[in-house]
Chains A and B, each alone.
Chain A
């Protein structure tokens, strides 16, 4: 199998369509065969779908597991003793959570991949880092929540890491002021989850009418817009308000999921989410899962060259998106760029029983 360490040497946004296709056909074909040999459950699904790894010519034909399946069953392709940590999705109480099993290699590749991708946007130097969350999120170390994993993952980019919120999600003004005073004049990195930034940082500071100058900062945020859409906060409004209050102009959203940690999709200066050489997106039609035409909204499939300890290299998400283009974003990055339209809607289930499934 082509090794992932070789792949890590490729610049994250340097391959055009045909180069990327060759790489993906090779590595994803090998990963599919590998997981088929090492994960019985995955093999049963490949067989059910009638997939023959030997005859695969195009990675678009590789079956995708529904991401929701990781909530229903334990899927791993290495011996249980090799599992080094288990990541869980940040499901709300009472909902089933996804469990993703990582061995040392896969966990370390996730971290390295994240560094490669993010450095392309922030530069390779470590910056003083302000984390817009509570330190309590990462205290529980044996089960890694998506939020905790995100913070830990991004922490490698930061020096002098400081949390802007206290244990109870209140603003820690003193810590923040001390940090900003100390790092005055330097570029700083801000990281947090979109909703947390809006709810516990922006709104609270605005309430206090406190002017904080973050104009030298670059903000990276992720975790989705579902809650903010409910509050009628659009991307544009989010960016504009943050600029108005903090003077911050470099703001990058990212799209990612616990099932493919590391392979995140960063938003460029033109507001487009980008697939790196480590992963790809395909949008699919709900009527037959055929690939969408450019510009057509569909259910997002994510493909990653990374997962070795669990069969998560090709997943059907529960998000919808639109591929905007490939290799031709004005920011100069190669690969597909796209936008997210949100989660697929809860099914309007008809029937006698009072079942209601939350997504």
Chain B
């Protein structure tokens, strides 16, 4: 196709499915992992390093065991991926999830230039020749914003992985596909953090520093823009001292680690001024230099998910009762990160109250850890097809006398 640049693979892609978690697929992923780990230069990208850690042999074996495949599944065929333009290596995860399901893949890479993308493409191009079946089924493409090209790829697809938020999803979904094409869409989501204040008071300095680093990794690392980054911190057993201790620790960590861009400082300042004028649930506002802005609200309201900070601007609320959450949670809520709280209890609340939202409950520090179960989807299962075999009722009836 015109204007399509193939960084890996070509137009002549093989689309016949493979078996999920086949040994070729697992070996391939492990070799990618090893090659990344071997290069001191590539490893300096922490996101690539995390990817390599995820696709290492031991982890993939573990996922394979958990998958409990009885050898009765195959991929769906060709999966077309639209990766988000702002996260450099998300495309590789999207690719791996679909590859594990046994699919051939065309991946549209972010249009924005990232060194990580070039780096990873080089790694893939070094390893793919050793795995001819996978090589024949892999294409990484780049092209300028163009719905005609996207439309062509969509027509070929048996599955689509659509990242990039609500507007991208709406525009891609309007394009024609095969009637059986399966879409998995990753829309704009909202995430919160729940902390038991009493447990903060029990922490020694080292563990407090660890907790603040974990919280930092969940939030600042992606400027709070990841769907799974908490925007709102909910306090159980709230007490002012615990909150001060926690936020001061977060401030210390951010001050040491966060590269605060001019534009982020200004945008945050605009946002807090807007909130002062427009948000009528503001209780108090606190600014600890420009690294940490806090707005305490005096109630949870429907539509909370539209109240968002970025680059270190958090909203917080002191829960009188965890059941207050029931009123506001809708399908936009994705991840709850927790500290000092029994996750099982959170799970129970969601199930027992038939909540439309919250797909994920993870400890503070794990908000960004993407995996095969993501955004409420069991990706490998949904991206593969199950062959159902009726073993019990057998043909015997025809032959018995």
From residue 224 to 244 of chain A, which have CB atoms closer than 8 A to chain B? none
In chain B, positions 167-217 with a C-beta closer than 8 Å to chain A are: 167-168, 186, 188
Does B225 touch A at the CB level, under 8 Å? yes
Q: Residues 316-336 of chain A: 1 if any B CB is under 8 Å from the residue's CB, otherwise 0?
A: 101010000000000000000
B386 at the interface (CB under 8 A from A): no
Q: Which of A47, A288, A344, A351 sits near B263, CB closer than 8 Å?
A: A344
Given that A65-B273, A69-B273 are contacting pairs, would A354 and B167 also be in contact in the complex, using a CB cutoff of 8 Å? Answer: yes
Which A residues are in CB contact (< 8 Å) with B225?
349-353, 355
B269 is contacted by which of A66, A351, A355 (Cβ under 8 Å)?
Answer: A66
Q: How large is the interface on A (under 10, 10 to 19, 20 to 34, 35 or more residues)?
A: 35 or more
Tell me which residues across on chain A come within 8 A of B165, comparing CB atoms.
352-355
B22 interface residue per 8 A CB criterion: no
What residues of B have a CB within 8 angstroms of the CB of A352 in the complex? 84, 86-87, 90, 163-165, 186, 188, 225-227
Tell me, yes or no, whether A79 is within 8 Å of chain B by CB: no
Q: List chain A residues, Cβ under 8 A from B275.
A: 48
A286 interface contact, C-beta 8 A: yes
Q: Which residues of A contact B291 (CB under 8 A)?
A: 287
Determine whether B276 belongs to the interface, using a CB cutoff of 8 Å to chain A: yes
B270 touches A354 (CB 8 A): no
- Which of B84, B90, B186, B274 contacts A69, CB < 8 Å? B274
| A72–B84 touching, CB < 8 Å | no
Q: Is the CB of B186 within 8 A of A66?
A: no
Q: Is B395 in the interface zone, CB < 8 Å from A?
A: no
A48 contacts which of B223, B270, B272 (Cβ < 8 Å)? B272
Q: How far is the CA of A48 from the CA of B276 in the complex (A)?
A: 6
Residue A41 interfacial (CB < 8 Å): yes
Which range contains the number of B residues in contact with the other chain? 35 or more
Shortest beta-carbon distance, A298 to chain B, in Å? 9
Asked whether A1 is an interface residue with its Cβ less than 8 Å from the other chain, the reply is: no
- Give B218-238 interface residues, CB cut-off 8 Å to A: 221-227, 229
Interface: B262 (CB within 8 A): yes
- Chain A's closest residue to B274 (CB) is A72
Select B264's contact among A66, A73, A347, A356, beta carbons within 8 Å: A347
Q: Is the beta-carbon distance between A353 and B260 smaller than 8 angstroms?
A: no
Residue A209 lies at the interface, judged by CB distance under 8 Å to chain B = no
Which A residues touch B266, using CB under 8 A?
66, 68, 286, 299, 316, 318, 344
A286 with B223: in contact, given A348-B261, A354-B167 (CB under 8 Å)? no
How far, in whole Å, are A351 and B112 apart by their CA atoms in the complex? 13
- In angstroms, how far is the closest chain B Cβ from the Cβ of A42? 9
Most buried by A among B224, B263, B272: B263
Per-residue CB contact flags for chain B residues 157-168 toward chain A (1 = under 8 Å, else 0) read 000000111111
In whole angstroms, what is the CA distance A119 to B273 when docked?
A: 38
Some 13 contacts from A to B, beta carbons below 8 A apart, are A48-B273, A48-B275, A48-B285, A66-B273, A287-B290, A289-B269, A299-B265, A344-B266, A347-B261, A347-B267, A350-B226, A352-B84, A354-B86
Interface residues of B (CB under 8 A from A): 84-87, 90, 163-168, 186, 188, 221-227, 229, 260-267, 269-270, 272-278, 282, 285, 289-291, 310-311
